[in-house]
A = this chain, B = another copy of it.
Amino acid sequence: MRTITADDVVDIADGAAILGTGGGGDPYIGRLMAQVALREHGPVELVSLPEVPDDAQVVTVAMMGAPTVMVEKLPSAEQVGLAASALTDYLGRPLTHIACAEAGGVNSLIPVAAAARLGLPLIDADGMGRAFPEIQMMMPTLYGITTTPLALIDDKGNRCVMDTVDNAWAERLARTSTIEMGCSAMLGSYAMSGTQARESLVPDTLSLCAELGALVRAARAAHTDPVAAVINRMSGRHLFTGKVVDVERRTVTGFARGVARLTGIGDDLGAELVVRFQNESLVAERGGVVIASVPDLICTVDHESGAAVTTEGLRFGQRLTVFSAPSDPRWHSEAGLALAGPRYFGYDVDPVRV
A residues at B contact (CB < 8 Å): 90, 156-165, 169, 172-173, 176-177, 179-181
Contact = CB atoms under 8 A, between A and B. Distances in A.
A288 B160 CA distance: 44
Given A176-B177, A177-B173, A179-B176, A160 B157 contact: no
Given A156-B165, A158-B162, 8 more contacts: A90-B90, A158-B163, A160-B173, A160-B177, A161-B162, A173-B177, A176-B176, A177-B177
A164 B158 contact: yes
17 contacts: A156-B165, A156-B169, A157-B165, A158-B162, A158-B163, A158-B164, A158-B169, A159-B162, A160-B160, A160-B161, A160-B163, A172-B180, A173-B180, A176-B176, A176-B177, A176-B179, A176-B180
Instruction: Kindly list the 4 A-B residue pairs having the minimum CB-CB distance in the complex, ordered from nearest.
Output: A176-B180, A158-B164, A157-B165, A161-B161
Nearest to A160: B162
A135 to B, nearest CB: 14
A173 B157 CA distance: 13
A199 to B, nearest CB: 27
Per DSSP, chain A at the interface is mixed
Contacts of A157: 165
Contacts of A177: 160, 173, 176-177
Contacts of A90: 90, 161
A173 B163 contact: no
Contacts of A161: 90, 160-162
Nearest to A170: B158
A112 to B, nearest CB: 26
A157 B162 CA distance: 11
Given A176-B176, A180-B176, A159 B163 contact: yes
A181 B164 CA distance: 11
A146 B287 CA distance: 59
A177 B173 CA distance: 6
Contacts of A162: 158-161
A340 to B, nearest CB: 22
Nearest to A158: B164
A172 to B, nearest CB: 6
Nearest to A162: B160
A172 B178 CA distance: 12
Contact of A165 (B158, B169, B172, B176): B158
A189 B197 CA distance: 36
A156 B176 CA distance: 17
A181 B165 CA distance: 12
A144 to B, nearest CB: 17
A252 to B, nearest CB: 15
A147 to B, nearest CB: 12
